[in-house]
Chain A
Amino acid sequence: MAEELRHERFTRPSGRERSGDDRRGVPADERSTGLYWLFLVPFVALFVPWIFNSSSPELFGIPFFYWYQLAWVPLTVCLTVVVYRATRGRS
């Protein structure tokens, strides 16, 4: 079994051939990929510095410019997790 797998790996066509005879892998199970547009939210929030280029309000003495951008780390993570779960297929 293991030997067979090894053989399969090591004799894989180099990619020069047309893909018709090389069917490695199965169709990915993903859906609702339109949700990817949600990623425009952190894009706009972070690439328009005019909205956060100020020192107040401060948080623990840290100017707004710095803590606002730091806050977008967990916010983007949450968004990514939501999108990941919503676009993942049944399996």
Chain B
Amino acid sequence: MSATSLLVPAAVNGVELGIFVFLFAVVTVLGFVASRWRRAASLDHLDEWGLGGRKFGSVISWFLLGGDLYTAYTFVAIPALLFSVGALGFFALPYTIIMFPMAFVVAPRLWSVAHRHGYVTPADFVRGRHGSPTLALVIAITGIVATMPYIALQLVGIGAVMRTMGISGEWPLIIAFVILAAYTYQSGLRAPALIAFVKDALIYIVVLVAVIYIPIKLGGFDAIFGAADKKFASTPETTDGVLLGNAQVLGFSTLAFGSALAIWLYPHSVTGLLASRSRDTIRRNMAALPAYTFVLGLLALLGLMAIAAKVTPLNANGKPDANTVAPLLFDKMFPDWFAGVAFAAIGIGALVPAAIMSIAAANLFTRNVYKEYLRKDASPAEEARVSRLASLVVKAGAVAVILALDPQFSIDLQLIGGVIIVQTLPAIVIGLYSRALHAWGLLAGWLAGMVAGLYMLYDTANATTGKAHFGGPQYALANFGLDTKVTIYTGVLALALNLVVAFVVTAVLRVTRAPQLEDATAADDYEVEAAPAHEVAPMPATVEEERRTVTPT
């Protein structure tokens, strides 16, 4: 860090920064107060610290899951993608539409089995269902590895906002993350659940204002799409445009489909689901959560508006950083005070998922590494203590990754994260329905999917950015000797191989009469609802009310 970056440069906008700092302070207070919210007798149990007591109702779950799934990085990266390549970036919409019907069908089964058996992490379920601690460890490590760069990318989101406000240097990011680490340690999942209310309210206000106000200022959507079309036509690349090129169509839909498969396999998504009070809460929320998808779709269009508004991205490490286009557009179009609100929305939008992700990664470490391999007799209080400490380590790691390495490295890792987390699908999703696949077959499939996925990513160059490896999530079918320009999402290809290997190895194991591993779950565990008896009726407020409730009708 250079000495000058410790000083606030002259170009800082005081109004924007003031509002940003104020809203940031508000959520910091909320984060600490959250430990008293719907307070349990103590937080000395992983269910309390790591899952908020497993009793969030529909409304809180809606905010929590919304805050969890739609991250700050999404809010800057999706407009950035539309700014750079156009239509292909809109894959985020079919992806975030279809993920909810998928979860409507599958997620209640996971909630039920976790409710009955007290599972906290996806790897807990794999351990119980497939009877293999090794498979559970592999699933846990995959989850942690996929989550770490995702946390780091939340810093990229805050960093984009900071640079737009004229603040350079890394110290604001460090301060933000130290505060975040402190209240997550203190309050656990209750902190992001409470802060999510503020985050989502701000996001909705900003986006609604933006999609009405900015197009009016730019002369309507006609002018916006016209400007975008002109820009894409003027570039030499054929992969950009207001519509998809013929060779891109399959890549677009497989990327959307693969991303929808991946999102619910991330540990932080599972944490958000399992914190729900009931199976019905999850089912309802799958109808209510797409409200965020609509907002995301409108937000994505900001990338095209930035083209029409002639926004030039700021440079980072000597290269233009498209992640700054959405903040720059706000800066250019809005009065200072409202730009400050918009920046705070993105900044706070980074804190909620970062908190949930670090909790989820910490729970995986505690349950599937520490308790399984290091201290088998760890008490619930010890689990909670280990998890709280692990959450600090996870965040420190994420900050170190961002500071020590090129942010591009995190973006590469995030790309890899999506491809590798999909490799846990057979063990988790197929496992929720059947034991057709043997744990060893699942392990073999996972290994094949991981190796193939990583190789294909390594083998992908990107002409636009000049990168020879890890150039993007699309693998050209020409690599298989086909005479075509068509590309397919790498994660889907690797998953296909994973499934084939898992089924073949399972078939071989059946023929060779390999030992059946124990299944700790029963068929009806997957269709369990929370018992009403667990809900304690509130004390009657008045004598009349008591008389009414006690008197039989």
Contact = CB atoms under 8 A, between A and B. Distances in A.
Interface in A69-91: 69-70, 72-74, 76-77, 79-81, 83-84, 88
Contacts of A79: 101
A49 B253 contact: yes
B124 A15 contact: yes
A19 B225 CA distance: 58
Contacts of A24: 115-116, 118, 528, 531
Interface stretch (B161-169, B194-202, B279-287, B403-411): B279-287
Given A42-B97, A69-B94, A70-B294, A25 B243 contact: no
B243 A54 contact: yes
Contacts of B257: 47
A66 B220 CA distance: 15
Nearest to B254: A47
Between A17, A29, A47, A60, the greatest number of chain B beta carbons within 10 A of the residue's beta carbon is seen for A47
Interface stretch (B104-112, B316-324, B450-458): B104-112
Contact of B253 (A47, A74, A84): A47
Contact of A47 (B94, B112, B284, B293): B94
B485 to A, nearest CB: 16
B98 A27 contact: no
A69 B520 contact: no
Interface residues of B, number: 66
A63 B117 contact: no
B522 to A, nearest CB: 5
Contact of B529 (A5, A22, A26, A74): A26
B290 A77 contact: yes
B361 interface: no
Contacts of A43: 98, 101
Nearest to B288: A77
A81 to B, nearest CB: 5
Interface string A11-54: 01111111110111111111000001001001100111110011
Contacts of B100: 76, 80
Nearest to A89: B529
Contact of B117 (A19, A46, A69): A19
Given A2-B536, A65-B87, A26 B531 contact: yes
Nearest to A37: B105
Interface in B172-222: 220-222
A17 B117 CA distance: 9
B521 interface: yes
A26 B534 CA distance: 11
Contact of B220 (A26, A61, A65): A61
B284 A28 contact: no
A62 B225 CA distance: 7
A25 B522 contact: no
A52 to B, nearest CB: 10
The 8 closest A-B CB pairs, nearest first, are: A61-B221, A15-B117, A25-B528, A61-B222, A46-B94, A39-B101, A80-B287, A28-B529
7 contacts: A9-B47, A14-B118, A19-B117, A19-B522, A62-B221, A66-B301, A80-B287
Interface of A: 1-2, 5-6, 9-10, 12-20, 22-30, 36, 39, 42-43, 46-50, 53-55, 60-63, 65-66, 69-70, 72-74, 76-77, 79-81, 83-84, 88
